[in-house]
Structure 1
């Protein structure tokens, strides 16, 4: 079984790969496909953390509430940039600078999360609890929005309701979006 820190780190590497593929793409169509993949991965990952991982911080760590609040604030900023980025076309002059700004904020968040937050959480959890959290995290990502909705609530229980309302529209729209064929991650339906 996989620990929650391993699942989160796996997602982070997928995001980094998609980011690099956007920048190295040889055509606007390829950039658009990787843009869709990056957006899809980041939206699902962020909401999954907000629904399951941040409440686990709050429940299991003495400073968990402060950690979760800090991470939620960082997510808000990233979601706003992702919302802007997901609406841009590869030929827009703001496309690459917006992506780079987004990645700058996101990579700092990832670094802190991997080096501090997840280390503390794993120390506080039993292995079976971490594995169970991973199962719930991966399952939850199948049912939540796949696009950024920065104005949606990010604290329980309201983000759950907002996500359940937005997810079907996002999932339906994904049917008409192009995604890269060579992506390693689970592809949208």
Structure 2
């Protein structure tokens, strides 16, 4: 099937996700410990990570298994990384930003995520690019973008509890439609379930 001329390939889409997550990490670290806005930004980070993981598990890793030599092992390793990330997210989700463990757990999430993203960019993506034609990569990019938009936001933060943060929408509810054109979470009244 020919690629849509306006679509991006899967590597561009996922690398863009990686860049957004890294920028969000910096935003959280820049806020003072105990700042209530940290919880909102962390919820945005979690949403981005979960959308990214869902899309990779639904489309990227099956493509890796189908096209890349030793793809079964590579995909299984990445899915195991996602399982550990989910455990850390669940631990972090129960912590208030003023809790002494918040920073420790968040830094653990940062470390594991950065390692995972770096391995995808230096190992997995080049191997996939070498194994697939351009149309396949663009088709995967379209599917991943669609899957990301369909994944709901992380529901742990009640907007009324979080003061606005410059550069982020708030304190209104965040909906399931995904980031706006500027990359910030969209506001609205969509579902808040995971």
Q: Are 2:10 and 1:25 equivalent residues in the alignment?
A: no
Q: Are 2:82 and 1:97 equivalent residues in the alignment?
A: no
Q: Is the 8 A contact 1:28 1:91 kept in 2?
A: yes
Which runs of no fewer than 5 residues in structure 2 stay unpaired? 1-6, 169-181, 189-194
Work out which of the two has the higher radius of gyration on C-alpha atoms and give 1 or 2: 2
Regions of 4+ moved over 6 Å: none
1:102-149 per-position Cα deviation (integer Å, ceiling 9, x unaligned): 1111111111110000110111111111111111101111222433xx
1:52-67 correspondence to structure 2 within 5 Å: 52-67=59-74
Equivalents in 2 of 1:121, 1:180: separation in Å? 38
Which runs of no fewer than 5 residues in structure 1 stay unpaired? 148-169
Please give the secondary structure, in 2, of the residue aligned with 1:94.
helix
Q: Are 2:24 and 1:39 equivalent residues in the alignment?
A: no
More displaced stretch, 103-112 vs 28-37: 28-37
1:6-59 per-position Cα deviation (integer Å, ceiling 9, x unaligned): 111111111111111111014713212211110110111111111110001011
Please give the secondary structure, in 2, of the residue aligned with 1:28.
coil
Q: Is the 8 A contact 1:37 1:180 kept in 2?
A: no
Q: TM-score scaled by structure 2? A: 0.77
Q: Are 2:140 and 1:133 equivalent residues in the alignment?
A: yes
Q: Which has the higher strand share?
A: 2
Q: Is the 8 A contact 2:39 2:157 kept in 1?
A: no
Please give the secondary structure, in 1, of the residue aligned with 2:185.
coil
> For residues 174 and 31 of structure 1, do their structure 2 counterparts lie closer, same or farther at Cα, with a shift above 3 Å needed?
closer
Q: TM-score scaled by structure 1? A: 0.79
Q: Which has the higher helix share?
A: 1
Q: Is the 8 A contact 1:54 1:68 kept in 2?
A: yes
